[in-house]
Amino acid sequence: MDSRQEQIQGRTTMSEHAAVDQEASNARRGRGASGGAAARRAARSGGGPGTQLTYIKRKINVYEVLDEEGLALIEKNTDTVLEEIGIIFRDDAEALQLWKEAGADIKGERVHFPKGLCRSLLKTAPSVYTQHARNSERSVQIGGNATVFAPVYGPPFVRDLDGVRRYATIEDFQNFVKLAYMAPSIHHSGGTVCEPVDVPVNKRHLDMIYSHIKYSDKPFMGSVTAPERAEDTVAMAKIVFGDDFVENNTVLTSLINANSPMVFDETMLGALKVYARHNQACIVTPFILAGAMSPVTVAGTLTQVLAEVLAGASFTQLIRPGAPVLFGTFASSISMQSGAPTFGTPEPSLVSYGAAQLARRLGLPFRTGGSLCASKVPDAQAAYESANTLNSTILAGTNFVLHSAGWLEGGLASCYEKFMMDIDQLGMTQKFSEGVDLSENGQAMDAIRQVGPGSHYLGCDHTQANFQTAFYRSNIADNNSYEQWLAEGEKTAPQRANDLARRWLESYEAPYLDPSIDEALKDFIAKKKGSMPDAFT
């Protein structure tokens, strides 16, 4: 508790410091100009990132795999699980006390929920919220028809630009933050884009949060590996945004995994409580390898997922009614031969689609999917699996997409080349989400009349007027002739992605950060680090 108190003290000091700059900081939030300049320069040098896109506002329909009867059946079964089997809240006396007061039946650490309790609590959770970025142009809507793409989360390894697979470092971490900052189709800086294994594990979160703030102006995620690290995250956010702003708004969206099946552990509950108390968003996510952490069937998995989310998400409302919380689902299956997780296969897609439907009925923003794969290299397997996952992610109507880019090896490695290929796919997804333009220009009747039978549209007025925006332009795909491709060195997609990543990193320029905020952040980190011995486990 001593370190907590110290943190809270430190936070207060820092917050006062930050308050001085808040007005200026707020004014700056409209800028984003330096990012634009870097983008423009990179674009001029060829293969630059291009114009930043705001989060996706889907104009397309969602795809659904369950009808009303199926949804009602799963919800009924979920009520049975919650009431009869219950969910363990492990090593957290406060949580058990809160649940008791709320009317749950506590047996040991197992919480049994009377029918309707969780749903009733969730009525105070918002279906849509804004996560503010320090550049207000990069603030994102989470929920409703919005989709937000965030990078890969969690890998201890990287596959680097020399094709070497090794432990990740803080430099890699910063590189991925930089690439995500530059990527037009990445709307969110994410969290642990890779584990900076060269930094002591108890201090790592400070450098990670600082990197997100320093090297990007997109919104980011908080540390969840210990409650005090969550507190540090909130404290650093207050330096940037100011105390009041943080308490009254949401500037962090953080990942709270259930320990499936049907357990929330003290680490995750501790982080959840910190974020919820400060009005910051939690993504309550059953991390499911079906066949191991859930039943081998889709309907069985959905039942357990819904039970875990109902318990964990409604717990945030016991902490602070109105705190944003997402319905998360990480869906994978295991190989029945080896027990290894598999990705991009049919069953997790069905789980994602079904879970999205359950989330909509609950009125919570939904997180699933990304560009998931089991491949060890950015090859065809990686791409098939990632594309399958991403297609179901977007059509499910997912609101927050972690692991959108860079994920390799079932999440064990962050891969630069795959990151660049994936963001190209995200751009396509964003274009697809605009749906069909039915305006007069979209109908193109004048073009059809002008061209007529047996001619071509290449030079017609309508084509000339629309060719800049008509089709998505990939910066990875090679659509040239075989002969031209040969002449250009027979490069594969990952090789082209490698070239692009190098060019982007060379042309990167950090977005403006008020020097006094930067200093305050550095002071905070120095003090925190000075108070702790190095720990590597």
Q: How many residues comprise the chain?
A: 537
Q: To which residue do tokens 């049907």 refer?
A: 262
| Cα→Cα distances 347→197, 284, 383, Å | 34, 21, 18
| Subset of 254-293 contacting a second copy (CB under 8 A) | 259, 261-263, 290-293
Q: Which one of 386, 393, 398, 507 is in contact with a second copy (CB under 8 A)?
A: 386
C-beta of 86 vs 242, nearer to a second copy: 86
Binding mask 303-332 for a second copy (x = CB under 8 A): xx----------------------------
Does 201 bind a second copy (CB under 8 A)? Our answer is no
Please give the single-letter amino acid code of residue 112. Answer: H
What does DSSP assign to residue 217?
-
| Subset of 345-364 contacting a second copy (CB under 8 A) | 345-347, 349-350, 354
C-beta of 20 vs 445, nearer to a second copy: 445
Does 164 bind a second copy (CB under 8 A)? Our answer is no
- Report the alpha-carbon distance of residue 375 to residue 372 in Å, rounded: 9
Least distance (Å) from a second copy to the CB of residue 463? Answer: 5
C-beta of 472 vs 536, nearer to a second copy: 472
C-beta of 22 vs 386, nearer to a second copy: 386
Least distance (Å) from a second copy to the CB of residue 435? Answer: 6
- Report the alpha-carbon distance of residue 34 to residue 406 in Å, rounded: 25
| Subset of 12-41 contacting a second copy (CB under 8 A) | none
Least distance (Å) from a second copy to the CB of residue 356? Answer: 13
Q: What residue spans of 105-252 are helical by DSSP H?
A: 117-121, 170-182, 204-215, 227-241, 243-248
C-beta of 117 vs 350, nearer to a second copy: 350
C-beta of 367 vs 418, nearer to a second copy: 418
- Please report the sign of the dihedral spanned by the C-alpha atoms of residue 225, residue 230, residue 231, residue 236: positive
C-beta of 88 vs 362, nearer to a second copy: 88
| Subset of 73-102 contacting a second copy (CB under 8 A) | 73-74, 77, 80-81, 84-88, 90
| Subset of 36-65 contacting a second copy (CB under 8 A) | 60-61, 63-65
Dmax (CA) of the chain = 81
C-beta of 384 vs 512, nearer to a second copy: 384
| Subset of 452-491 contacting a second copy (CB under 8 A) | 452-458, 462-463, 466-468, 470-474, 476-482, 485, 490
Least distance (Å) from a second copy to the CB of residue 145? Answer: 15
| Subset of 99-118 contacting a second copy (CB under 8 A) | 110
Does 294 bind a second copy (CB under 8 A)? Our answer is yes
C-beta of 10 vs 286, nearer to a second copy: 286
Does 334 bind a second copy (CB under 8 A)? Our answer is yes
| Subset of 407-436 contacting a second copy (CB under 8 A) | 409-410, 412-413, 418, 421, 425, 428-429, 431-432, 435-436
| Cα→Cα distances 214→7, 134, 177, 416, 423, Å | 21, 10, 9, 20, 22
**Chain centre to alpha carbon of residue 96:** 30
Q: What residue spans of 435-535 are helical by DSSP H?
A: 440-443, 445-451, 461-466, 482-487, 493-507, 515-530
Count of CB atoms within 10 A of residue 361's CB? Answer: 15
Q: What residue spans of 256-401 are helical by DSSP H?
A: 266-277, 298-319, 346-362, 380-395
Nearest residue to 428 via CA among 469, 468, 472, 390:
472
Please give the single-letter amino acid code of residue 331. Answer: A
Does 1 bind a second copy (CB under 8 A)? Our answer is no
Say if residues 281 and 249 touch (Cβ distance below 8 Å): no
Strand partners for 483 = none
C-beta of 60 vs 106, nearer to a second copy: 60
- Piece of the chain touching a second copy by CB under 8 A; list 146-154, 223-231, 298-306, 521-529: 298-306
Least distance (Å) from a second copy to the CB of residue 108? Answer: 10
| Cα→Cα distances 478→111, 122, 387, Å | 56, 48, 18
Give the DSSP letter string of 362-380. Answer: HT--EE---S----SSSSH
Least distance (Å) from a second copy to the CB of residue 179? Answer: 17
